[in-house]
Amino acid sequence: VAQEKINTDIVTLTRFLTEEQSKHKEATGDFTLLCHALQFSFKSIAYYIRRASLINLSGLAGSSNSTGDDQKKLDVIGNDIFVAAMRTSGKCRLLVSEEEERCLVFDENPKARYAVVCDPIDGSSNLDAGVSVGTIFGIFRLAEGSQGKQEELLLPGSELVASGFTMYGASAQLVITMKGGSVNGFTMDNALGEFILTHHDMKMPKSRAIYSVNEGNSLYWEEEVKEYFNSLKYPIEKSGKPYSARYIGSMVADAYRTLLYGGIFAYPADKKSPKGKLRILYECAPMAMVFENAGGQAVNSRMERMLTVVPEHIHDRSGIFMGSYDEVQKVIDTQLIVN
């Protein structure tokens, strides 16, 4: 029997972070430690999601979050795991979570220089059906002399020093990018308990005939949005076929597919949700950074670059169109402007 060739030189997330740190002479190791704490929260959340049906974690918690969404038991657990990991990392001063009305200020870490924004379990309405959900995160470095105030986080995504997401699917996938850097994807090896670098320097296809949007909202869309999506349903020159529709209803899963296969993902602002549905700070901006660093684009419903959008409040929402460079450019070129 031929012996399986064993790779004894694998790049774990821990090793990757150490190597990244060594590229920066001025680095103190704080950012690396913060990422280790993030990594632990992803592993824990992945573990509980996998066991949810077995240990009675399905269904509602009986509460609602800051903006009135019903919370699932796992929303609450995911948030608690995340908060504990950030608090005890010693490197996180401020934490904005979709599940917390106010920004959490960790006074026990007054010298911590980082702020984290997150949606601990995005797409949680899919949880009980075993559909992929994920964690979205962004990291800001606080300004010198920071007072540790929530208002300091009303920043555009272009200020993020790192961002990414984890998708809890057939396996847990972690995608991370640093400011001005490449995008790297890791796969959780459950036996080792480590994220392993499997997708080095991810670059998304420049175009692809796939669109991803909740068409059930088309009644509320502005005319221009209706026209744009309608235009995708006729044969295109290149293939003689119309676009394919793919919509999971979990942003991380739709985004991960779009990153790998290309295409466009959108959640436009509409007449029912004039500001859109997805949150600027911890959903749109981190994703936009990943997409741009992978060679794609992301804009809001006014066709402004998503990374320049400044929220007025930590939970503000925005319309979003993101995906392959050419696909988003097509939307921008149609001059589709929705307020």
Of 79 and 89, which has the nearer Cβ to ligand AHM? 79
- 221 C-beta neighbours (distance < 10 Å), count: 20
Of 122 and 222, which has the nearer Cβ to Mg ion? 122
Q: 200 Cβ partners below 8 Å, 6+ apart? A: 184, 185
Q: Write down the least CB distance from residue 72 to Mg ion, Å.
A: 12
Kindly state whether residue 122 participates in binding Mg ion, applying the rule CB under 5 A: yes
Here the tokens at position 232 are 């995708």
Q: Are 265 and 284 in contact (CB under 8 A)?
A: no
Q: 12 Cβ partners below 8 Å, 6+ apart? A: 192, 194, 195, 196, 197
Q: 15 Cβ partners below 8 Å, 6+ apart? A: none
Q: Are 125 and 151 in contact (CB under 8 A)?
A: no
Of 89 and 135, which has the nearer Cβ to ligand AHM? 135
Of 46 and 281, which has the nearer Cβ to Mg ion? 281
- For residues 67 to 106, the per-residue mask of contacts with Mg ion, x marking binding by CB under 5 A and - elsewhere, is ----------------------------------------
Instruction: Pick what 250 binds: ligand AHM, Mg ion, none; C-beta below 5 to 8 Å, kind-dependent.
Output: ligand AHM
The maximal CA–CA distance of the chain, rounded, in angstroms, is 65
Kindly state whether residue 119 participates in binding Mg ion, applying the rule CB under 5 A: yes
Task: Give the interface size with Mg ion as a residue count (CB under 5 A).
Answer: 2
Instruction: Pick what 30 binds: ligand AHM, Mg ion, none; C-beta below 5 to 8 Å, kind-dependent.
Output: none
Q: Write down the least CB distance from residue 119 to ligand AHM, Å.
A: 5
3-state DSSP percent of the chain in helix, strand and coil, to 5: 35, 25, 40
Closest Cα partner for 120 from 139, 137, 101? 137
- Residues in contact with ligand AHM by the rule CB under 6 A: 69, 98, 119, 122-124, 214, 249-251, 267, 277
Q: Write down the least CB distance from residue 137 to ligand AHM, Å.
A: 13
By CB under 5 A, what part of segment 146-205 binds Mg ion? none
Q: Write down the least CB distance from residue 272 to ligand AHM, Å.
A: 10
Q: Write down the least CB distance from residue 224 to ligand AHM, Å.
A: 20
Q: Write down the least CB distance from residue 119 to Mg ion, Å.
A: 4
Residue position matching structure tokens 């993030």: 38
Query: What residues does 134 pair with on adjacent strands?
Result: 122, 167
Q: Which residues of the chain form contacts with Mg ion (CB under 5 A)?
A: 119, 122
